[in-house]
Amino acid sequence: MSLKQYRAFLKTVECRSVSQAAQAMGMTQSALTQNLGALEKQFGFRLLVRNKAGVRLTQEGRRVYRAIEQVVRADDALQSAVEEVRRSGGDTIRIATFKSVAVNWLPAMMKAFQAEHPEAEFRLFDGAYAEVDEYVRTGAVDFGFVSLPDALECDMIPVKEDRLLAVLPQGHPLAEAEAVPAAQFGREAVVSLVDSTNQDALRVLRAAGVEPRIRFQTADDYAMISMVETGLGICITHELVLKSDNHNVVVKELDPPATRTIAVAIPNYKEARPIVKQFIEFVKEWTRKE
């Protein structure tokens, strides 16, 4: 068994396609298939099932998925630590982040910060909420962007309140309403993020006593909105996600209104390198102006 095989397995599950996973990893489909086959042979059971709908985990694959993921993350943390030692601490800022921050905040933040600190370099680790937590917990990054509340035991620095909004297809009966009642998500089909990234919407609905009728799930915010656009259901998403979205959908306030608190999670702010502290202070000021 090798880390290469583990990474091929995780990427295939993420992409739900052998061809797309091979392309993402810069290898041929045949080579990736061989890696998967070798891993299954060594384990002694099938990990994946392929059909016209794509690739899905077998029952056995689901049972070992999290353990394999932890091994790969541990290796990422090790390689990051080795690189950090080689660079003598240096001026590299390692950040774990979920997609909406990576897309809508960090490019502009990094460019503006480098104008003041040209020595600064950045390495981003993107993933779902749980993955960001793991990067911070294992020390693979200097800090991560998280959504509060979060169970991480570290310093939390709130930086921005981000509204949760209802997204409807064009022509929906509530398209002209001032707000969409939370109860509506218990009455009709709902498109949702997978559970590991859907905690904000679930928190809002549970607080309202609503059990959502989830009919479709995806790990990608923009795929979720695309499903709403085609009329598969309605969803709840974050205002930051919608900032760079161009889908033809209707966006409404929720009733009752809801937000998430985006925060910086850092193991120990006082012990952080100066360049990291400077960037966090820059983030606080940038988001305040934004």
Give the tens place of pLDDT for each residue, 73-105. Answer: 988 888 887 776 655 456 899 999 998 999 999
DSSP 210-235: ---EEEEEES-HHHHHHHHHTTS-BE
Residue 164 identity: L
Residue 87 is predicted with a pLDDT of 56
pTM for this predicted structure: 0.67
237 Cβ neighbours under 8 A, 6+ residues apart: 164, 165, 167, 201, 221, 224, 225
230 Cβ neighbours under 8 A, 6+ residues apart: 169
Arithmetic mean of pLDDT over the chain: 90
Beta bridge partners of 262: 147, 160
Domains 87-159+262-289 and 162-258 share a fold: yes
252 Cβ neighbours under 8 A, 6+ residues apart: 165, 166, 167, 168, 174, 175, 177, 178, 179, 180
Residue 244 is predicted with a pLDDT of 80
Residue 192 identity: S
Residue 88 is predicted with a pLDDT of 46
What does the domain layout of the chain look like in residue ranges?
3-74, 87-159+262-289, 162-258
Contacts 24+ apart (CB under 8 A), 239-247: 239/162, 239/163, 239/164, 239/165, 240/100, 240/101, 240/104, 240/105, 240/162, 241/99, 241/100, 241/104, 242/165, 242/167, 243/100, 243/104, 244/103, 244/104, 247/222
Supply φ then ψ for residue 243, to 5 degrees.
-60, -35
Residues of the chain with pLDDT under 70: 1, 84-90, 196-197
Residue 77 is predicted with a pLDDT of 87
Q: Which CATH class is domain 3-74?
A: mainly alpha
CATH number of 162-258: 3.40.190.10
Residue 211 is predicted with a pLDDT of 93
Residue 128 is predicted with a pLDDT of 86
Q: Which CATH class is domain 87-159+262-289?
A: alpha beta
Residue 86 is predicted with a pLDDT of 58
